[in-house]
Amino acid sequence: MAELVHKTIGELMDDTVSQYPHKEAVVYPETGLRYTYKEFQEACNKVAKGFMSLGIKKGDHIAVWASNKPEWLVAQYASAKIGAVLVTVNTSYQSKELEYLLRQSDSTTLLLMDEFKGVSYLDMLKELCPELQKSAPGELNAKKLPKLKNVIYMGDQKHPGMFIWNDLLDKSLLVSDQALEERQKSTHYDEVINMQYTSGTTGFPKGVMLTHSNIINNAINVAECQRLTYEDRICIPVPFFHCFGCVMGTLAAVATGATMVPLILFDPLEVLKAVESEKCTALYGVPTMFIAELNHQDFSNYNLSSLRTGIMAGSPCPTEIMKKVVHDMGAKEITIAYGQTESSPVITQTRPYDSIERRVSTVGSALENVEVKIVDPTSGEEVPNGVQGELCTRGYLVMKGYYKMEDQTRETIDTEGWLHTGDLATMDEEGYVVITGRLKDMIIRGGENIYPREIEEFLYTHPKVFDVQIVGVPDERFGEQVAAFIKVKPGEVLGSQEVKDYCTGKISKYKIPYYVEIVDDYPMTASGKIQKFKLKEHAVKTLVNQ
């Protein structure tokens, strides 16, 4: 078994640069931007010094709210070099979600772009922090977000109270190379360097604290399962704010010296173009992305013969889609990965030599240096092969914990260091795992984790809503959709569209209920507990199959 790597992200990057200084590190096909590893290192060092010039200290939290722009990528490694914690923000977030994340994470700095899919990030931030209008850059004093001081806009246009990206580059001259070197040397591989927010049954997102060691070793393992080397070129259309993008994608590339070919936003045609023009050997995506690429009207016009491997993750892959990815795309060694943010993220992965049957019916076997067991959810005892139980994992990949949520951390990681995933699974005699369900009622829509309680808590704020229950129902395109069963307050009338309109602009689009049904009561157990599985069965009969 290979030994674990004890390095910081800064050290990992510098080591790769010393091996492959003139090899392409980053290519943005849409903009023509190209960095060799040496040029990429120089860009990251410059921004790292820019961060230091703003007074950002080791351990400070820097939130990034943007699509897969080059600035996001540079900020990931620049923040790591100075020991600042990168807090990733979902691009679909709306104002309430952003406010919660920035406040709960104690972020002192926010990097943001102007808008996403027609929604203005700048307007949302100005609404949260009206004080920006009269603040000098770096001196924000916002009532709602008292810790936030620096706002950095990823663009050239000046906005009140904000730095622009070029300010970071200019200010880098105020900090010496030696000061950056000393700061980088002060970082330790077991320190938290990345924080990603994942929702929970409490209905409030939790900040998952991941260390250099967590994510570097996971990235290396994930790369090994794909047989990645410095000769590979990885097309990354999945978002950086997920571990899929920033660990399995960019970090796996830096760990091996492979070339990153990110797309700023997912577009199936742009993926096909990128794979052909850049001769990508690996392609990442959730099943819905691969389906969109395969079904694109121009699919047959593109030469994808360079493809060999990649990762499909986020939700189960239909057999026919896997066959097409292998045969029509030519990614004969494509792998399936399973995990969660709390496990950095990958726990199990298929291997290139696994049959198509294994790749569609299982989520692979444990990564190297990773323990997996299936336990009875009630007794905690390990169950025999083939018997369903909760999947638990232990090893280098387990998070440090949830930020400022010690009780929830203790509920998730037991005294022996086992992370309880909340997923139901079986394992065969060869260690291959099948995910069979979820202990909790999490909904996975197109690779996005949705937690019913969070939507329920939000809908309770509607003046006409008396009670609400959220369940996931099957959907051919996205895997699952959100269904809301609502009891209305006496004397009130509430329509489906009114519910959806209330959600728009306040919670992410993918969380807005697709189905809404007004009900008089819920199916209950004798002890008074609501039977969500019966709501789901009802939804399948009356809503999905109507």
SS3 readout for 211-240? EHHHHHHHHHHHHHHCCCCCCCEEEECCCC
Residue 137 CA, distance from chain mean position? 30
Q: Model pTM?
A: 0.85
What number of other Cβ atoms are within 10 A of residue 174's Cβ? 12
The first and second tokens of residue 157, run together, are 């246009």
Q: pLDDT digit string (tens) for 448-471?
A: 878 787 898 899 889 999 889 899
Pairing of strands 115-116, 119-120: antiparallel
User: What is the pLDDT at residue 203?
Assistant: 55
Residues of the chain with pLDDT under 70: 199-203, 440, 525-529, 546
Phi, psi of 255 (to 5 degrees): -70, -25
Pairing of strands 309-312, 282-285: parallel
User: What is the pLDDT at residue 450?
Assistant: 82
User: What is the pLDDT at residue 200?
Assistant: 45
User: What is the pLDDT at residue 448?
Assistant: 86
For residue 333, give Cα distances in angstroms to 129, 323, 353, 355: 49, 11, 7, 10
- Separation between Cα atoms, residue 386 and residue 408, nearest integer Å: 30
What number of other Cβ atoms are within 10 A of residue 176's Cβ? 11
- Separation between Cα atoms, residue 205 and residue 46, nearest integer Å: 33
User: What is the pLDDT at residue 201?
Assistant: 38
- Separation between Cα atoms, residue 78 and residue 1, nearest integer Å: 32
Domains of the chain: 443-544 (3.30.300.30)
Q: Residue 12 forms beta bridges with which residues? A: none
User: What is the pLDDT at residue 476?
Assistant: 87
Q: Residue 510 forms beta bridges with which residues? A: none
Task: Please name the residues in contact with 339: beta carbons below 8 A apart, sequence gap of 6 or more.
Answer: 243, 313, 345, 346, 347, 348, 397
